[in-house]
């Protein structure tokens, strides 16, 4: 189908509308049933593809795939970075090092070794598929990370891994691509590659992030910026960073990640805005990409099944549990937590997007790598997504302890004006008013509903508060059996 034809644009708009409508209507059902969201959109793509209604047939050289995949990978990296809490990484730097260093890199190395031994890939090709398949999928992990009753250490480890592993694995793929296309990496060639990877790309991303934060701060002081538009602003920063790096022959993907890290380190409020609004927009783009893959491309993996690929697929699924269980063996995590972290490493869109980087660059043999990746992703959706449905859903704990010690008596959170009753039209409550209400003997429930980035980055904490995400407050409060006469006070930022 012609990329510029009216029919193409009509089908594209219809697909975008279908993604938004289906994702919204099924969001509650998917959360409660634990059915893999990715599987739903792959099935939708198959229904629209050549084997179904024949409305969509996407090939590897289709322009729409290149555009959507590039945008999706840039958004994955940017979202990973913005979602990070620098303070949280510092507090748990050993755990972050273990899941990204020995865990992720050991997995990538062992998968590459398996590809070299079983599939007879060249060392560079094996390195590329090893790096791609060591990446975990943020969309598939989101349902697990939101699951009530999941141990906090497991949630933290998986969140740190999914936020950091792609930026470690992407340079491996780029270096392996250079080896396959340039033949050697010595002298001037090595210096040029190092300049592109580690200076031009990250430098453009950091510069874009700093300029964006400076401009936003200036406008905030002068006229103010609507919170929902700050989220769109952060998306604009991601795309601007990508374009800036590509214009100077750097890696736009590394730039998008570095722009996100800059924002995460310097502007927590902008991170929260993105997580409230922009993250949903980014997720819609990722789900749209799954529909494109599901129309025909990903099913090519089933056609590649033979004895060698079946052995390799089994090896890939088993390598991660071994690598992560060994990497975490010297930590204080209990055996069940280590098993959960080791098992739940679903391969999905991140793996496909990473392996598409050499495909779009016409790297020799990359299409075969893509087909093998498709097989592993399908297997992972079935195994990891299916095992999530079998995981017992524990009742949510009434209090989530995120810090080891509460503030001393008499200390109050810094964000005094952010304490407000739950009623939508209620006035903000000062700390003194809250204390007077508590001293009167009236039942009071304080709920900390700050976004994760603010909560993890700020030392301020309301004493005795329940920690409940804002999007779950109605359901969780109802489940606690709070007396109707209680005053519910929300602590936000």
All domains of the chain in start order, with CATH: 6-390 (1.20.1530.20), 416-491 (no CATH)
Query: Which residue carries 């920063």 as its tokens?
Result: 237
pLDDT the model gives residue 417: 35
CB atoms within 10 A of CB 191: 11
Q: Provide the total of helices (H) and of strands (E) in the chain, helices listed first.
A: 23, 4
Q: What pTM value is reported for the model?
A: 0.76
Cα–Cα distance for residue pair 245/238, rounded to 1 Å: 11
* pLDDT tens profile 424-466: 344 566 666 667 766 776 677 777 766 655 565 565 666 667 7
Long-range Cβ contact pairs of 212-221 (< 8 A, separation 24 or more): 212/236, 212/237, 212/240, 212/259, 212/263, 213/262, 213/263, 213/266, 213/267, 213/270, 216/267, 216/270, 217/267
CB atoms within 10 A of CB 116: 17
Residue stretches of the chain with pLDDT short of 70 = 1-9, 34, 183-187, 267-279, 392-434, 437-438, 441-442, 449-464, 468-485, 491-493
Q: Find all residues with CB under 8 Å of 330, minimum gap 6, and list them.
A: none
| Residue 165 C-beta-side C-alpha neighbours within 13 Å | 31
99 neighbors 341 (Cβ within 8 angstroms): yes
pLDDT the model gives residue 4: 57
């Amino acid at each position: 189908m012609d990329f510029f034809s009216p029919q193409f644009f009509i089908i594209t708009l219809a697909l975008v509308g279908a993604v938004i409508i289906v994702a919204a209507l099924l969001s509650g059902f998917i959360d409660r049933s634990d059915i893999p969201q990715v599987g739903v959109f792959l099935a939708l793509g198959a229904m629209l593809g050549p084997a179904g209604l024949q409305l969509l047939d996407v090939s590897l050289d289709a322009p729409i795939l290149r555009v959507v995949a590039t945008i999706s990978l840039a958004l994955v990296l940017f979202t990973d970075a913005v979602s990070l809490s620098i303070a949280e990484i510092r507090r748990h730097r050993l755990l972050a090092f273990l899941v990204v260093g020995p865990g992720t890199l050991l997995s990538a190395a062992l998968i590459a070794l398996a590809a070299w031994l079983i599939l007879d890939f060249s060392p560079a090709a094996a390195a590329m598929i090893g790096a791609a398949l060591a990446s975990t999928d943020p969309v598939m992990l989101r349902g697990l990370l939101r699951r009530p009753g999941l141990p906090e250490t497991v949630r933290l480890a998986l969140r740190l891994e999914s936020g950091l592993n792609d930026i470690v694995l992407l340079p491996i793929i780029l270096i392996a691509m250079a080896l396959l296309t340039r033949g050697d990496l010595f002298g001037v060639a090595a210096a040029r590659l190092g300049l592109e990877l580690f200076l031009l790309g990250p430098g453009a991303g950091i510069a874009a992030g700093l300029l964006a934060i400076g401009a936003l701060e200036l406008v905030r002081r002068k006229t103010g910026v609507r919170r929902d538009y700050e989220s769109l602003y952060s998306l604009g920063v991601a795309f601007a960073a990508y374009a800036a790096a590509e214009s100077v022959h750097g890696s736009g993907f590394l730039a998008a990640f570095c722009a996100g890290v800059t924002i995460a380190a310097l502007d927590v409020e902008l991170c929260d805005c993105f997580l409230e609004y922009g993250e949903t927009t980014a997720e819609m783009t990722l789900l749209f990409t799954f529909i494109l893959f599901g129309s025909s491309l990903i099913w090519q993996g089933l056609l590649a099944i033979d004895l060698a690929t079946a052995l390799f697929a089994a090896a890939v699924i088993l390598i991660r549990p071994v690598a992560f269980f060994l990497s975490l063996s010297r930590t204080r995590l209990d055996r069940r937590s280590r098993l959960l972290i080791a098992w739940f490493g679903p391969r999905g869109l991140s793996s496909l997007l990473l392996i598409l980087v050499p495909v779009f660059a016409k790297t020799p043999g990359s299409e075969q790598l893509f087909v093998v990746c498709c097989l592993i992703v399908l297997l992972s959706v079935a195994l990891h997504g299916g095992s999530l449905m079998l995981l017992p859903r524990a009742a949510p704990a009434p209090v989530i302890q995120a810090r080891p010690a509460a503030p001393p008596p008499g200390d109050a959170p810094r964000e005094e004006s952010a304490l407000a009753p739950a009623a939508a039209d209620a006035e903000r409550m000062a700390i003194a008013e809250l204390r007077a209400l508590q001293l009167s003997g009236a039942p009071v429930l304080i709920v900390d509903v700050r976004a994760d980035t603010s909560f993890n980055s700020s030392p301020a904490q309301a004493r005795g508060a329940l920690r409940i995400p804002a999007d779950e407050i109605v359901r969780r409060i109802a489940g606690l059996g709070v007396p109707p006469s209680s005053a519910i006070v929300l602590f936000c930022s």
